Structure 1
Amino acid sequence: MPPRAAPTARQLRLGLELRKLRERAGLNTKEAAALIGANQARISNIETGRFGLSERSVRALTRNYDCVDEDLVNALVAMTGRQRRGWWEDYRETLSAAQLDLAELEHHAVRLRLATVLHIPGLLQTADHARAVFAEGVPALPPPEAEDRVTYRIKRQRILYGDDPTPCWAIIHEAALRMRFGGSKTSRAQLQHLIDMSERDHITILVIPFRNGTFPGSGQSINYFSGPVPQLDTVLLEQSHGSLLLDAAAQLEKYRMVIDKMEATALAADESRDFIREIAQEL
């Protein structure tokens, strides 16, 4: 089987974690390859996500790398093999790899922590609100492409529904609540949607009002995806020119602290719900 031309973020992450384990074991690629009867090129392709791996291969590699963290090994094994094709693959010809990676990360996360200042998190947007957001894009999107993005955004929200929804904490600044995308009617419906979602047991929405002043992380939107083990957590920073994925231990710790501080600045869940209701009534 030829190497993958464009590995996904999840495939890249598996390779990266295996490289970390190899380096921690003090082995170079030639030594690691010799342990499994392969060549250096194969190890390089594994570590860059270009070769798929079986459960047996991952267990062999982690054993050779003296990894005794069984939870981590099992989590890495879960990232291998011929997994079922994700629904987001249907959009590979129309959306960017970064957008597909976002859905894949959300799908596999065991918990979500979202923090936004000027926008409602995509997972909590109504279709009309999302449509109004995409209408403000530069350059302007053709109507069919804009509608594809709206549909894609709504499909991503499936993880919040069903029998086993993903727990989600969202910290939203008052500025985002007052941005009237689509006009008063659309904004009112969006705020009511937030209220309704906040009443679900697995969803917590916290609001930072203007009156609470400054706080860390005010200049960016942060998406923190918790993996099955802490080593596999991922941070996604949304920026105007694209998204940035972070997974180094120091980076993860930094953004956990930032979100913790933002959460400490926010109103409690019940107060936040009442605050959203007050803003909706002003529209």
Structure 2
Amino acid sequence: MAVDDPRDGVEQSPTPGAEVSGAPTARRIVLGAQLRRLREAADITRADAGWAIRGSDSKISRMELGRVGFKERDVVDLLTMYGVEDENERAFYLDLVRKSNERGWWHRYTDLMPDWFSNFVGLEESASLIQNYELLFVPGLLQTEEYVRAVVSHGQPVHLDEQTERRVQLRLQRQKLLFRQGAPRLWAVIDEAVLHRPIGGAAALRAQLDHLLEVTKQPNITLQVVPYDRSGYAAEGPFSILRFAEPTLPDVVYIEHLSGALYLDRPHEIEVYSRVIDRLAVDAETPDRSRQFMSKLRQEL
């Protein structure tokens, strides 16, 4: 864990005028963490801060965790209460308010996404390193369009309706972050079974293997395969770890299930999953040997 838990420690403060991570979700978290730091430095309770903005202590808690949008009027009142008088510093925070309320590209898909997944997409946009372990599917950021269609349609791509088609486009749009300027690094570990499971049929699997062999030529994309004889010990299910260059953003473990997702960001939780992904990387074939493995499998199909 690169930084302290935002609920338990004191983080580094961004310098007024410094650039903060680009996605609105990340900006909300940064702004919330800084407001909490200012409140604690002023020795003010959440309840008192909430009263100052005509709210409650739970509202302050949600703001400080970056889970809600910010009103400029509320932040102005809080900065005054916290004793922030320097005009440049106030301008920095208010600019961050405006930027945190901007809509990300995924806003047009919000009718398809529950809040717990919308938050993940926002954080994914700001990550500098995405670590991923998958047991059943090719990681979403590396799936071909045909593979995506098979997954989101539950194996019936010929029956795609308009809403499901938009889900396909959402996943394809997410993948663009790996090829933009300043792209994050993706380090994925998959179980060997993923490469044998014919999602979408044999032709789709061949195309998917071709795609994996192509994209892993990118310097920011690393893929490792855990062979059958070494799998099943380090982790019980898939998960992702998002790591950020912004010092006030805590690393996040994301675990999705059928009806929601878990976000873990406490230092001891991050440590557990960091050890797991390190163990998986050791158990897996090296990136070069993984490419050789996929190439051999592709030739056999």
With normalisation by structure 1, the TM-score equals 0.78
Matching residue of 1:96: 114
In structure 1, distance between residues paired with 2:216 and 2:94:
34
**Number of equivalent positions:** 260
Instruction: Spell out the pairing of 1:132-211 with structure 2 (5 A cutoff).
Output: 132-136=150-154, 143-211=161-229
Q: RMSD over aligned Cα, in angstroms?
A: 3.4
Closer, same or farther: CA 186–98 of 1 in aligned 2, 3 Å? same
The answer as to whether partners of 1:29 and 1:40 remain within 8 angstroms in 2 is no
Q: Which runs of 5+ in 2 are unaligned?
A: 1-23, 84-91
In structure 1, distance between residues paired with 2:116 and 2:39:
28
Matching residue of 2:105: 87
Instruction: Spell out the pairing of 1:253-264 with structure 2 (5 A cutoff).
Output: 253-264=271-282
* More off after superposition, 97-106 vs 18-27: 18-27
The answer as to whether partners of 1:112 and 1:224 remain within 8 angstroms in 2 is yes
In structure 2, distance between residues paired with 1:137 and 1:243:
23
Closer, same or farther: CA 206–20 of 1 in aligned 2, 3 Å? farther
Q: Which runs of 5+ in 1 are unaligned?
A: 1-7, 66-73
In structure 2, distance between residues paired with 1:192 and 1:261:
27
Closer, same or farther: CA 31–104 of 1 in aligned 2, 3 Å? same
Specify the SS of the correspondent of 1:278.
Answer: helix
Counterpart check, 1:221 vs 2:238 = yes
Matching residue of 1:45: 59
Closer, same or farther: CA 119–79 of 1 in aligned 2, 3 Å? farther
| 1:178-210 deviation line (CA, Å, top 9, x unaligned) | 110111110011011111111111111111010
Closer, same or farther: CA 103–258 of 1 in aligned 2, 3 Å? same
Closer, same or farther: CA 21–260 of 1 in aligned 2, 3 Å? farther
Counterpart check, 1:233 vs 2:251 = yes
Specify the SS of the correspondent of 2:163.
Answer: helix
* More off after superposition, 103-112 vs 236-245: 236-245
In structure 1, distance between residues paired with 2:61 and 2:48:
14
Greater RCO (CA < 8 Å, at least 6 residues apart): 2
Report the alpha carbon displacement of residue 45 of structure 1 after superposing the two structures with TM: 2.1
The answer as to whether partners of 1:220 and 1:239 remain within 8 angstroms in 2 is no
In structure 2, distance between residues paired with 1:118 and 1:23:
45
| 1:61-118 deviation line (CA, Å, top 9, x unaligned) | 6x959xxxxxxxx9x9996433442110001123322332222111011111111111
With normalisation by structure 2, the TM-score equals 0.74
